Amino acid sequence: MNKRTHYKELLIKKASLNREYLASYIERYMQFENIDKENIKLLLGCSEDNYFKLCVCLAPELEAEDFKERIDKIAAATSTSSLSIIRILKRVDMLQSIGDSDVMLMAARMKESKNERDDE
């Protein structure tokens, strides 16, 4: 791995920790679907360089009025499929909201269980 590739990997890793970047959605999608970087690039139909560009793009809000327009611009700039980007964003958002609901339900059950023990 050359220096340039190494720095790109570091930037993608850093961007994946921040939900504002597409890298975070792509990383979570790969985890949810249990796929590797090579397979996500195939799904997106992009090269290594365009994968990097895509990862460091800011992720548009799903509810934004200009969502589709922004996705189309990102797809054009990175030579990727806008449909694939949308699928990734929506799938991660849906799976994360289900996960958030599960966490809230578990917390409510734990609180209820604690209250029952305190009453005894």
Whole domain around residue 70: which residue ranges?
3-119
Residue 5's pLDDT is what?
86
Of 10, 7, 39, 40, the closest CA to residue 25 belongs to 40
Q: What is the pLDDT of residues 11-31, one digit of tens each?
A: 889 999 999 999 999 999 998
Structural domains in the chain (count): 1
Confidence of residue 8 (pLDDT cuts 50, 70, 90): confident
